A = this chain, B = another copy of it.
Amino acid sequence: MKVNRDFTDVTVKLWLSAFQTSSVLMACTDQLLMEYGITSEQYDVLAGAKYLSDRVKISDLATFLRRSSNSVSMLVDRMVKAGLVRRLRDRGDRRVVYVILTSKGQNIVEQSSPGMWEFIKDMLSPLSYEDRRTFLSLFEMINRKALEHLNPGRDIEGIVRDRAERDAELMKRVPAYTLTASPQSKRQVAKRKKAS
């Protein structure tokens, strides 16, 4: 019974901590993006429209953000009004709508992205290389489980493979400033080199 109680305790604490971490990080990025006049959600759409591919559809953004097309469509509506993006219908297939950055949206995502990346590096700075790999593999386990939940009876291997391919494409488009290692990560890499 004691073991059961411990198991439940750590499970509730983990869920609570994951929930709180995600909320506190969003509060940080909202604060960070305030000077650019956008929210974290809007940043995700702008970054998606810039880095995902040359021509991003609402459905691509929905896949990237893992939200319904309908909810992304409403988000895009507000961003059109704010002059951040515009919609463009495909000439061949009028049902397909692309989301295009305006020059205002383009400027904002370019100006705010290096700060966002610095923030990410800062948040992860207490974690060693091994910690990051462990963290990543734990997320992947949950991610896979959630994909199974959302796609009952479907070929999860296929979905995971498709997603890995998309992510690999996305990784190629990761902008150059991400490659500048922070002093923290340099220190850790040096420490790791010394240790091995």
Contacts and interface: CB of A to CB of B under 8 A. Distances in A.
Contact of A14 (B15, B27, B136): B136
Interface string A164-196: 000100110010001101000110110011000
A74 interface: no
Residue picked from A21, A150, A174, A185, most chain B C-beta under 10 Å: A21
A78 interface: no
Interface of A is mostly: helix
What size tier do the contact residues of chain A reach?
35 or more
A65 to B, nearest CB: 5
A174 B14 CA distance: 14
Interface in A119-143: 119-127, 129, 131-136, 138-143
Interface string A9-30: 1111111111111111111101
A88 interface: no
A167 B24 contact: no
A179 B4 CA distance: 8
